Amino acid sequence: MDCSLAADRWNDLATRILDGHELTVDEGLAILQSDDDEILDLLAATYRVRRKHFGKRVHLYFLKNAKSGLCPEDCGYCSQSILSEADIPRYALLNEAKLMEGAERAVASQARTYCIVASGRGPSNREVDHIAQTVTKIKEKYGLHICCCLGLLQPEQAETLQKAGVDRINHNLNTSRTFHDTICSTHTYEDRLKTLKAVRNAGMELCSGLIVGMGESEQDLVDVAFELRGLGVHSTPVNFLHSIDGTPLERKWDLNPRYCMKTLCMFRMANPAVELRVSGGREVNLRSMQAMSLYAANSMFVSDYLTTKGQPAEDDFKMVADLGFEIVIGDHDAYQAWKASQNGCQSAPESEVHQHTTCHG
């Protein structure tokens, strides 16, 4: 397509979305199928939508890996599943002292949200009670925004967590309804939807996203974007498959940075006011185009992931600064602290630049 026509095409779409138009299936597919030569025009148009709702701000999120491995589910992408032979840490749910220690580190890093993540099909009532009691103490002592990712939840468990002060639950759809059974057989797509509905009914915010690059079609990606739109999620993490040795999807590397960028653009256009997070696998799939992803996304995880390494957090700070954007962690401005440290005025707290983050949250 002629460059000027491509620019007009995507700018027209952005204008209509800013005026209240909802992205259609055909438009979503057109974004994913667009020529690589159009990517700068597409990204520029997408940035108009991102800037309208989030300005130049980038939100960073940190977590506590509260329970690792020991999962009976057979999700093909996951290093913690029962099928995985990957060499990863395996431990039961952490005690209160360890979870409180994580909250203290979150405060030291100026994080607004403390994410508590546990592997497994879903928590036992005893585990939910343990987390709920600890969250109440965290709220009383630190006043942090709390997000939990605990697997499948029963309605009464969601209510217990909400009453304890949990603000948000992360539970990813991971893929479309039609592709779900290809990657997992031990729970259904409907099981995941039931958890999200239980969370909504309990009065907590919804955080739900997907993993790109597992063999799904372009239609699958559009279907997920529209499903999330229908659910009215508050936050969508977009993960890109980081193929891990020892998992059923080992040595699967189908993605390239340009397609990853188009996917982010499609999700921003489909859900213009939703916090869009560029998440697990960004370093190995976006590579030198990582910074450009923030013209579509307004949030990211930094440093290491649950079972894979990310780039140093200092590099993320530099990346955002080079864009002329500002890093905001909760109600604090981490970028200014980092900038001051670069000028020799002060050093950023160690906990601020060495926190670990989520794998596919």
Tell me the pLDDT tens digit for each residue of 297-340.
Answer: 999 876 655 555 556 777 888 899 999 999 876 544 544 555 56
Average of per-residue pLDDT values in the chain: 86
- 8 A C-beta contact, residue 154 and residue 124: no
Domain ranges of the chain: 3-353
Percentage of residues in the chain having pLDDT higher than 70: 84
Give phi and psi for 3, each to the nearest 5: -55, -45
CA-CA distance, 145 to 111, in Å (whole number)? Answer: 9
Catalytically annotated residues: 71, 75, 78, 115, 147, 207, 277
Task: Tell me whether residue 321 is exposed, middle or buried, using C-beta atoms within 10 angstroms of its C-beta: 0 to 12, 13 to 18, 19 or more.
Answer: middle
Q: Which pLDDT score is estimated for 251?
A: 78
User: pLDDT tens-digit profile of 172-224?
Assistant: 999 999 999 999 999 999 999 999 999 999 999 999 999 999 999 999 999 99
Q: Which pLDDT score is estimated for 310?
A: 59
Cα torsion 311, 312, 316, 319: sign: negative
**CB-side exposure of 47: number of CA atoms within 13 Å?**
18
User: pLDDT tens-digit profile of 124-157?
Assistant: 999 999 999 999 999 999 888 899 999 999 999 9
Q: Please check the confidence at residue 355 and state whether its pLDDT lies above 80.
A: no
Q: What angle do CA 90, 94, 97 make, to 5 degrees?
A: 145
The domain made up of 3-353 has a fold known as: TIM Barrel (3.20.20)
CA-CA distance, 327 to 100, in Å (whole number)? Answer: 25
Q: Which pLDDT score is estimated for 109?
A: 63
Least trusted range by pLDDT, from 13-17, 112-116, 230-234:
112-116
Q: Which pLDDT score is estimated for 189?
A: 96
Give phi and psi for 310, each to the nearest 5: -110, 180
CA-CA distance, 68 to 65, in Å (whole number)? Answer: 7
User: Which pTM value belongs to this model?
Assistant: 0.87
Q: Which pLDDT score is estimated for 34?
A: 97
